[in-house]
Chains A and B, each alone.
Chain A
Amino acid sequence: SQTIHQWPATLVQPVGSPLSLECTVEGTSNPNLYWYRQAAGRGLQLLFYSVGIGQISSEVPQNLSASRPQDRQFILSSKKLLLSDSGFYLCAWSLAGGGTEAFFGQGTRLTVV
C-alpha cells in the first residue's frame, strides 16, 4: 500500500534562517506531488506541484522554492524565512494521469519567530 511521510511535524525557526521540509512517498511510482500551505486554520493554498522529477510548477510567487530530486521525494525550501511564512504545510500525492484524490501527509506546523 502507498504511504506518505512528511517531517518534521513541528518546527520553530527564527526569521532569516533557512528551511527544508521533506516529503517522501512509498508504494507508488511517478506520483504527482503537491505542497500546500494552510494559514490561520483557513483554506489550502497550492504552492507547488510536480508531475515528474525536476518538473516543478509554482502557483504563487513567494519566498519559498521546491525541488524533486528523486521520483518520490519532494522538498520545500527557503533561504531566509519571513514571519509571513508561518503556517501549516501539507504535502500530498496523487496518481499520475489524474483521476484520483490527493493523499495527504500529517503536515508540518511552522512557526517563524
Chain B
Amino acid sequence: AQTVTQSQPEMSVQEAETVTLSCTYDTSENNYYLFWYKQPPSRQMILVIRQEAYKQQNATENRFSVNFQKAAKSFSLKISDSQLGDTAMYFCAFLTLNRDDKIIFGKGTRLHILP
C-alpha cells in the first residue's frame, strides 16, 4: 500500500526567508503523480504544484519549487521569499496511475510565516 509521510508537523519562518517542507512516500508503482496542496485558514484546498514521476525536471510555480528524488522517494517543497499569505497547512499527496486512481495525503505540515 502507498503511504505518504510528512515528518514536520509544524514550522515557523520569518517573512522573506526560504523554507523547505519535507515529504517522503512509499510505493512499488513506477507511474504516479505527486502534489502539494495548501489549506489556508478558510480550509479550502488549493493545489500548489504537481510533479509527474516520469519527468526528471523538477516542477516550479513562481515562488514554489520541488526537489523530486525518485530513487529516494522524496518530494520536498521549497517556498522562496515567503509571504504572510503563505501561512497555511501544507499537504503532500500521491496518485497512482492505475485502475483505482486513489489520491493519498500525508498528515500535513502547519507553516507559520512570521512578520
Contacts and interface: CB of A to CB of B under 8 A. Distances in A.
B25 interface: no
Contact of A51 (B35, B89, B95, B100): B100
In this complex, the interface size class of chain A, counting residues with CB under 8 Å from chain B, is: 20 to 34
B50 A42 contact: no
Interface string B54-96: 0000000000000000000000000000000000010101011
Interface in A50-98: 51, 57, 59, 88, 90, 92, 94, 96-98
A106 B44 contact: yes
A111 B102 CA distance: 27
Interface of B: 33, 35, 43-45, 47, 50, 89, 91, 93, 95-108, 110
Interface of A: 32, 34, 36, 41-46, 49, 51, 57, 59, 88, 90, 92, 94, 96-102, 104, 106-107
